[in-house]
Amino acid sequence: MELFENEVRPERALLVAVDTGEYDVEASMAELYELTRSAGAEPYGSMVQKRPSPDSATCVGSGMAEDIADYCTRYEMDLLIFDCELSPTQIRNLEEKTGVRVIDRTMLILDIFAARAKSKEGKLQVELAQLRYLLPRLSGRGIEMSRLGGGIGTRGPGETKLETDRRHIRRRIEGLKEQLEEVEKHREQINRRRQKDGVITVALVGYTNAGKSTLMNYLTQAGVLAKDQLFATLDPTARALKLPGGVTVMLIDTVGFVRRLPHHLVNAFRSTLEQAALADLILNVCDASSPEAQTHLEVTRALLAELGWKDRPVIPVLNKCDLVPELGAVPMIGNAVRISAVTGAGIGELLQTIERSLPVRTVRVEALLPFAESGLAARVRKDGVLQEEEYTAHGLKIIARVGPELLEQLSRYLVDSEGPKD
């Protein structure tokens, strides 16, 4: 089974939310609007109903459901998008009442992921997430699940008669998991090689559409897709970045975050996102022109913590300062660096801040240790990265990467060395 990327045609979408008081509905609907645009649909209108809890049959109340049906008929809507996760029963009942296709926030995000995934791992992760989402929703979806559609929420597994063959789906899920394990093993090998070579990694993380890809392109000329839409970048991109002091780091661009990202989606992309969470240094990029800049930074921090961020240094980066009319209007957030990845303003300060925040750098050394210094050789093996060793007539010749403390102890035996790794 292969993922399909159907040609996107404009669809008129009505956005619907139920305000239970659990989150900021206005901000979430604004985000849903952008997600809809990113998927290729036209957000034509929106409706919000305040309720203590979603209705089990239609999510909204019966009166609201009638209003939605009338709106869909009057304005010829193609699609209903709910700002919450719907049950199979709710989807079926809403489609019967309105006569239009119904998807929820999760399905919308998965559709965008399906359209944007380019790497093998990305495509595998998307298809796995889609099948896991669809499996409990097969009943009551009608025959539409067995054929390709032409709109939002239909991209993905394709024509496989999903509603009648649960065993096939489960087998496919297991097959995808096995393929992902192989891909992850390969990536782990690459990561171990980087660690052995003393490569320092710096990750760009942040809310989607914060300008991470634009910043990546400015710093490294990477040519990463940078568009004014959510989830323009899905697959991680790594490029070398040489800092003013001469040190070269590996800069990693990652998929953006959104608020209320379903946990199963986080889990689906955990292996990819962990590259960011486990980096030596993290740049938390946000849109300084957004009134919710502080919230976006906090959303990103929360997701990083969920992924095992621990105590790695984080530099808040307020991007898009060129869109703020007055510099004083840019929010003051702790030690945040103010930049514009479009104009280049503040980039010099950002690079200096990165240099100051880097972990202790190792150096490559070549030394000839007397046989009597076996204890020092053991320390190199334990605390450094031993790359080569050879017994000679005059002692043990080693090539290793070591930190400042070991370098001082080895200084009298050095044959050759280099400065901090470029």
Looking at the predicted structure, is the pLDDT value of residue 327 above 70?
no
Looking at the predicted structure, is the pLDDT value of residue 359 above 90?
no
Average pLDDT of the segment spanning 159-172: 67
Looking at the predicted structure, is the pLDDT value of residue 194 above 80?
no
pLDDT at site 8 = 46
Distance CA 189, CA 167 (A): 34
The answer to whether 83 touches 25, Cβ cutoff 8 Å, is: yes
- Note the residue count of the chain: 422
One-letter identity of residue 32: L
Looking at the predicted structure, is the pLDDT value of residue 71 above 90?
yes
Distance CA 46, CA 368 (A): 73
Looking at the predicted structure, is the pLDDT value of residue 230 above 60?
no
Looking at the predicted structure, is the pLDDT value of residue 319 above 50?
yes
The pLDDT-based confidence of 231 (bands split at 50, 70, 90) is very low
Domains (ranges, CATH) in the chain? Answer: 12-162 (3.40.50.11060), 199-357 (3.40.50.300), 363-420 (3.30.70)
Report pLDDT digits (tens) over 88-146: 899 999 999 999 999 999 889 888 878 777 777 778 888 888 888 878 776 544 434 44
Secondary structure (DSSP) of 230-259: TTS--S-EEEEEE-TTS-EEEEEE-PPB-T
Q: Model pTM?
A: 0.67
Average pLDDT of the segment spanning 49-56: 95
- Across 104-108, 169-173, 207-211, 397-401, least confident range: 207-211
Average pLDDT of the segment spanning 170-189: 82
pLDDT at site 148 = 40
Q: Backbone phi, then psi, for 325, in 5-degree steps?
A: -55, -45
Q: Tell me what percent of the residues of the chain surpass a pLDDT of 90.
A: 28
pLDDT at site 82 = 96
pLDDT at site 232 = 44
